[in-house]
Amino acid sequence: MRFDGRASRSEFWFWALWWAIGNIVTNLIDTVIGGSDSNVVGGLWALATLVGFIALTVRRLHDVNFSGLLALLFIIPPIGVLFAIVIGCIPSVREGARFDQPNRG
């Protein structure tokens, strides 16, 4: 996972689409395995994708020329969801190139 560089709007939204599809599938599996109270597979899915989502969010924030520390807003659930939608809709700005590190492989 890389926390430097930038992520475009399309990268952000395609990842969100695949995460939502994975979430639906894991919820279906949980329902089949243990009924409506089970959340084992969904919990594992959430843990497996957490760091990737944070890295993507930090890179998206860099693309719109904000500090990656703003990703901490996801700690507050209602604000975090709205924040994700907003940063996913903001167009890229040229000034975000300051976060690129071309010398890093």
Predicted confidence (pLDDT) per residue in 26-37, tens digit:
989 888 887 767
Classify residue 35 by its DSSP letter: G
Q: Rg for the chain (alpha carbons), in Å?
A: 16
90: region left, alpha or beta (phi > 0 left; psi from -120 to 50 alpha) = beta
Nearest Cα neighbor of 64 from 21, 1, 11 is: 11
Share of the chain above pLDDT 90, in %: 19
Q: What 3-state class would DSSP assign to 12? A: helix
- Burial classification of residue 75, based on how many CB atoms lie within 10 Å of its CB (0-12 exposed, 13-18 middle, 19 or more buried): exposed
Predicted confidence (pLDDT) per residue in 63-99, tens digit:
888 888 888 888 888 888 898 889 889 888 877 777 7
Confidence of residue 101 (pLDDT cuts 50, 70, 90): low
Query: What global pTM score does this model have?
Result: 0.79
pLDDT confidence of residue 25: 93
